Amino acid sequence: MSEKVHKTEEQWRAELTPERYEVLRRKGTERPFTGELNANKEAGSYRCAGCGSELFGSDAKFDSGTGWPSFWQPKSTDAVSTEEDRGLFMRRTEVLCSTCEGHLGHVFDDGPDPTGLRYCINSAALTFEPGE
């Protein structure tokens, strides 16, 4: 696992676009079907837009029809962490980057085999690195 990244809110605000700051640091959500990586079908790695940590591989990406990039598992067991989210009068499981603790999205138990999970991730929280 990568060494933790700690920055001030001023540093994050200076380094991230306004949309990325809203999602990663303020737990925002982009509108469905608006993210540039939702329809991406290229082979490669999805990395945290805040710190560059590798989070998901294209081999675990699937089209969930929800309007956000969806994955059935992270790249490694320690790439992401989760915590309970009781916002918006709902009970959900928030997904965070383990390295910088940036908000990525949420995980649900309605995904495909073999895990049955759907990591529903904001495009604004990710960058894509083409590869095999």
Q: Which long-range contacts (CB under 8 A, 24 or more apart) does 74-82 make?
A: 74/119, 75/45, 78/1, 79/53, 79/54, 79/55, 80/55, 80/104, 80/119, 82/107
Q: Rounded to a whole number, what is the distance in angstroms from the first to the last CA of the chain?
A: 22
* Residue that the structure tokens 């294209």 belong to: 58
- Residue 59 in this model has a pLDDT that exceeds 60: yes
For the chain, the average pLDDT equals 93
Between the CA of residue 126 and those of 28, 59, 91, 113, 114, what are the distances in Å?
Answer: 14, 16, 24, 24, 24
Query: Domains of the chain, with CATH numbers?
Result: 9-130 (2.170.150.20)
Q: Which of 33-37, 39-43, 68-72, 81-85 has the lowest mean pLDDT?
A: 81-85
Q: Which residues pair with 121 in a beta bridge?
A: 105
pTM above 0.95, yes or no: no
* Residue that the structure tokens 């928030």 belong to: 94
Averaged pLDDT for residues 30-46: 96
Sorting pLDDT into bands at 50, 70 and 90, what band is 123?
very high
Q: Residue 115: which residues within 8 A CB-CB, separation 6 or more?
A: 72, 73
Task: Return the amino acid letter for 69.
Answer: P
Q: What is the pLDDT of residues 61-118, one digit of tens each?
A: 999 999 999 999 999 999 999 988 776 677 889 999 999 999 999 999 999 999 999 9
Q: Residue 84: which residues within 8 A CB-CB, separation 6 or more?
A: 91, 92, 93, 94
Sorting pLDDT into bands at 50, 70 and 90, what band is 120?
very high
Q: Annotated active-site positions, please?
A: 120
Q: Residue 88: which residues within 8 A CB-CB, separation 6 or more?
A: none
Sorting pLDDT into bands at 50, 70 and 90, what band is 26?
very high
